[in-house]
Amino acid sequence: MPEELIKSLSTIFIVMTIFSLINYIIVSLALYKIAKKEKLNKPWLAWIPVGNAYILISLGKGNIGFVFTLVVAMFSTGLIGDIAMAIYTVYSVYMYFVICKKYNVSIIPIAIGAASLIVSMIPFLSILVIPMYLINLYGQLKLLKAADKEIIENNKNIKTKISLSNGR
Q: What is the pTM of this model?
A: 0.80
**In the predicted structure, residue 163 carries a pLDDT above the cut 60:** no
Q: What is the pLDDT of residue 100?
A: 94
DSSP state of 47: G
Q: What is the pLDDT of residues 59-93, one digit of tens each?
A: 999 999 999 999 998 998 888 988 898 899 899 99
- Exposure string of 109-129, with b = 16+ CB inside 10 Å and e = fewer, is bbbbbbbbeeeeeeeeeeebb
Angle at 27 between CA 22 and CA 32, to 5 degrees: 125
**In the predicted structure, residue 6 carries a pLDDT above the cut 80:** yes
Give the Cβ contact number of residue 136 at 10 Å: 22
Q: What is the pLDDT of residues 9-28, one digit of tens each?
A: 888 889 878 888 988 999 99
